[in-house]
Amino acid sequence: MDIRKLLADMTLEEKLGQLTQLNAIFFKKDNTVDITGPVSRLGIAEEEALLSGSTLNFIGAKDMKEIQDIALAHQPHKIPLLFMQDVIHGYRTIYPIPLGMGCTFDEELVEECARMSGKEAAVSGVHVTFSPMLDLVRDARWGRVMESTGEDPHLNGRLGAAFVRGYQGDDLTGKYDIAACVKHFAAYGAPEAGRDYNAVEMSEHTLRETYLPGYRACIDAGVEMIMPSFNTVGGVPSTCNRLLLDRILRKEWQFDGIVISDYNAYREMIKHGVAEDDKHAAELAINAGCDIEMMSATTYLHAKELLDEGKITMEQIDRAVLRVLDLKDRLGLFENPYRAASEDEEKALHLCPAHRDLACRAAEEASVLLKNEGVLPFDKSVRKVAVIGPFAKEQGIKGFWACAGRDEDCVTVLSGIRALLPDAEVATVRGCSWELGETEVPDLEEAIELSSEADAVVLCLGEYQQHTGEGNSRATLTLSPAQMKLAEAVIKHNKNTAAVIFGGRPLVLTDLAQIVPAMLYVWQPGTEGGNAVANLLFGEVNPSGKLSMTFPYAEGQCPIYYSHMHTGRPVKRPKTVYEGGYSSRYLDVPVAPLYAFGHGLSYTTYAYDQLILSDEVMTPAAPLEIGVTVTNTGTRAGKETVQLYIRDKVASVARPVLELKDFAKLELAPGESAAVIFTLTEEDLAFHTADGTFAAERGEFEVFVGPNSEELLQATFRFEK
């Protein structure tokens, strides 16, 4: 397709339509009732709405084909629609939420899961997914932490790039390839008070040093689209933020893909107080570098007037339209507007055994064993198992943003254990609900009776899937009083109890950790959650997940993260309530978290031998090699994530106490050893210096290797240049 020739033949209205994205409801055949309200609110006529270049929020190949036919029938040049959808952690077969996937520290698994979900989405008519979400998250109060892979820029960048590769393939030419859209640019994960959509205030140094690298990694991986965030950064909404969209994204990073706004974000600039009206909002967004406007029509309605007034240029419009047409062309939509959409392939692929197996493996790898006092794994020969708690037979465990996923497809913990232990007596009682703030335990006596008689107790607690995600911030992160009452009673009557915790964010588990012998954090695990939990609890699988986000001791510590800055008055005993002294402390809780970044136990043990450095001095021409030997000293095979951190001891600006620079995941048999060799380069030491350049400075560095951000072997080297 000669898209430049096509562009030259298009009317202004057609061009503006290509830059407007509307909900799929606008294209429905039976829209006589539904469309009247939405269209009138947008201020455009029905025929104008049908000129839109892309759509979202549809379900299934049949739906997609019908909408595409309607759009093509009204399109003067028969330009096909782009179909976009939030395929965040699976399409119909759901794997764990991205924050759980971060705990796998496994790029290959992430890429495989993205490829699987992209395939299911493609046969259902999806061309673009609004994923991955690369917002760095350090405040568990924010509901959308569940969409991120965690608090560390290095980990997020590597896993984000893996998502992009999984969705897009090599060059979008594969039948099941879909385009990825990185979101939300930028720093959406740092809203004031952890409240969704709230303002973000940080220095440009912090923005560049910590929050931008993840997005940049995905740009370098070839992501096709990027979405500005809802929030303001430095007082300017990201949708019209020229620093972000023009200077950094377009000029510095040379990104020439599509920039698409978030839902109705153009009009939200009016509420932010930076745009006078819809026309002004369109002007600001276009001049900042936005291409597609999602679910508002300010560009369509006002671009002609803005052009006449010289406030925007036709060159800007044409450049944006060319980007849209180019993506449609590379996806092959002009030749085949349906692309991979197929009702038959939907039936064959959605929830197929291979996809369920992958979802189960992902849920196993994402789960983190927080605590274990010898209780787990349970013996598979047990005769009586009690499965107690609000999540014992709850199917709402797929997580927020599960697209076409359905609760009824999800395997419960009860079902998973019964399937694994067909000869055991597996009884259950809910005890209480998962409602926030609930105080009563209606089934307490029955729960006590079941736990007293059981050989093993599985206590299923946590946070419901709709209590996380967009718009679901929380000020209180503890389990409800009812869940704690249930836990106390059950544990009192049976010490052979393990708590299985569901959640979309790090919860404050301090009180529970003091009384329960074992805790397995399974996040919101998806379609195969119950089978994965059963395999982990009864030793079919050895837990290997490592926390990608710090678990606070108390909400008042939030935001809390491992790579914090030094303070001039550090606390000497961060894990205790420090008594006295003018130091950076709390009066009532420790400074240290309950569980640190990288924490995660196993059913086996690992020993780390002394660090060996290739040299005491590193130069730009001679990268440094860091070697360590890891041995499985236990009796079970297992997987261990070896983590490499550095500390810049003296620099022109304050540096973090630790920075993750690399990691490697090993699979070791009992007694087996493996040598891990990491390589540090000059770029690994570089940062945004006091004069604004990105460079490594001479001086002494410390290097650390270990199983988490607290238990580390240490060595020192100098960097010279």
Supply the residues annotated as catalytic: 262
700 SS3 class? strand
- In this structure, are residues 604 and 670 in contact, taking their beta carbons and an 8 Å threshold? yes
How many C-beta atoms lie closer than 10 Å to residue 301's C-beta? 18
Alpha-carbon distances of 683 from 204, 326, 643, 695, 696, rounded to whole Å: 20, 34, 18, 7, 7
> In what order do the strands lie in the sheet containing 368-372?
368-372, 518-523, 497-502, 456-462, 384-388, 425-429
**What does residue 703 show for φ and ψ, rounded to 5 degrees?**
-120, 140
Helix (H) or strand (E) holding 444: helix 444-453
Residue 644, strand partner residues: 662, 705
Residues near 148 by beta carbon (within 8 Å), at least 6 away in sequence: 98, 99, 102, 133, 134, 135, 136, 137, 156, 189
Burial of 433 (0-12, 13-18, 19+ CB in 10 A): middle
**What does residue 448 show for φ and ψ, rounded to 5 degrees?**
-65, -45
CA distance 260 to 141: 27
Helix (H) or strand (E) holding 236: strand 236-237
> In what order do the strands lie in the sheet containing 617-618?
617-618, 713-719, 699-706, 638-648, 659-668
CA distance 524 to 329: 37
CA distance 98 to 88: 8
CA distance 184 to 245: 12
CA distance 192 to 232: 11
User: How many residues would you count in the chain?
Assistant: 721
Residue 477, strand partner residues: none
Of 534, 496, 486, which is closest to residue 518 (Cα–Cα)? 496
Alpha-helical runs (H) found in 30-131: 36-42, 46-49, 61-74, 98-102, 107-123
Pairing outcome for strands 179-185 and 497-502:
unpaired
- In this structure, are residues 611 and 715 in contact, taking their beta carbons and an 8 Å threshold? yes
389 SS3 class? coil
Helix (H) or strand (E) holding 279: helix 278-288
